[in-house]
Amino acid sequence: MAKKSDRPGSRNGRDRTPDAPPEAEYYKLKLQAVDDLVNATPENSPEVSREELRKYHAQPKLRLADWLKAILIKFWLAGVICYFFIWGLSTFALNQLDHLLVLSLSLGAITHLITNNILRFIAPAKGRYDRWMMFPRQSLWYLPLDVLYAAILIFLTVMTYNGINLLFRGAEGTAALGVEPLGFGLIVTAWDLLFLGARQLFRRILQDAKRQAAR
């Protein structure tokens, strides 16, 4: 019986086909390629386009626009604030002023530490989502400004609830619109987008005025 290694076409056998490479070629290390990989640095590496890199990453089946991603993140986290700090604290005897203070502190801290960092993380380029942050600076010194801005949003949200319930009374004087995560998140996000839009408009007007003055 012939040995397995002696069969025709075997790499280890003597009956190797004429066009087969030598056995050593199968295990030959590409030393130059290994050296290039080990010694690779940002300075000596070739520039790779973002389109080329995308070929090696799994692409999401559903693509969302930048503005929609930002709105959904803001809306969801504002709803989380309502769930934990309005519904969650409903069993505690807090007066309205203390409750508003807790909401302002929690919304401002989550905006600065979580919401803005998520927007920076998902941004395809640095600064791409800055327009969706009232204070895009990452410094901790901007945390009080985010808390103050959150207090304004909370105040306007409470006024919105009061205005709606004043105009549309339910049966026997009950509130027509109760506070729940979806509605709370929607109102907070709507006011936030209104302020962000006003800031962008003011910035454009200021830039146009500077260009006109430079002529």
What gap in Å lies between CA 69 and CA 176, rounded to an integer?
30
Whether pLDDT at 27 is above 50: no
Q: What is the mean pLDDT of residues 138-161?
A: 94
Question: Rounded distance, CA 100 to CA 97, Å?
Answer: 5
pLDDT top residue among 159 and 48: 159
Reduce the DSSP state of residue 175 to 3 states and report it: strand
Other CB atoms within 10 Å distance of the CB of residue 101:
15
**Given this model, what pLDDT does residue 6 score?**
47
- Judge whether 87 and 185 are in contact, CB under 8 Å: no
Provide DSSP, 111-174.
IIIIIHHHHHHH-SSTTTTGGG-SS---SGGGHHHHHHHHHHHHHHHHHHHHHHHHHSB-GGG-
- The reported pTM is 0.69
Give the pLDDT band of residue 89 (cuts 50, 70, 90).
Answer: confident
At residue 21, the pLDDT reads: 56
Do 151 and 108 form a contact (C-beta atoms < 8 A)?
yes
Q: What is the pLDDT of residue 32?
A: 64
Q: What is the pLDDT of residues 109-135, one digit of tens each?
A: 999 999 999 999 998 888 889 999 999
**Mean pLDDT, rounded, for 91-97:** 78
Residue 212 has pLDDT above 70, yes or no: yes
Token digits of residue 46? 């070739």
Percent of the chain exceeding pLDDT 70 equals 73
Instruction: Give the residue extent of every domain in the chain.
Output: 7-46, 66-214
Query: Can you tell me the distance from the alpha carbon of 22 to that of 164, in angstroms, rounded to the nearest whole number?
Result: 84
Round to whole Å and give the CA distance between 148 and 100.
12
Task: Please compute the mean of the pLDDT values over residues 185-208 and round it to a whole number.
Answer: 94
User: pLDDT: is 172 or 124 the higher one?
Assistant: 124
| pLDDT above 70: residue 16 | no
What pLDDT is attached to residue 193? Answer: 96
In degrees and rounded to multiples of 5, residue 18 shows phi and psi of -60, -35
Of 94 and 206, the structure prediction assigns the larger pLDDT to: 206
> Residue type at 143?
L
Of 172 and 88, more confident: 88
Handedness of CA 132, 140, 150, 188 (dihedral sign): positive
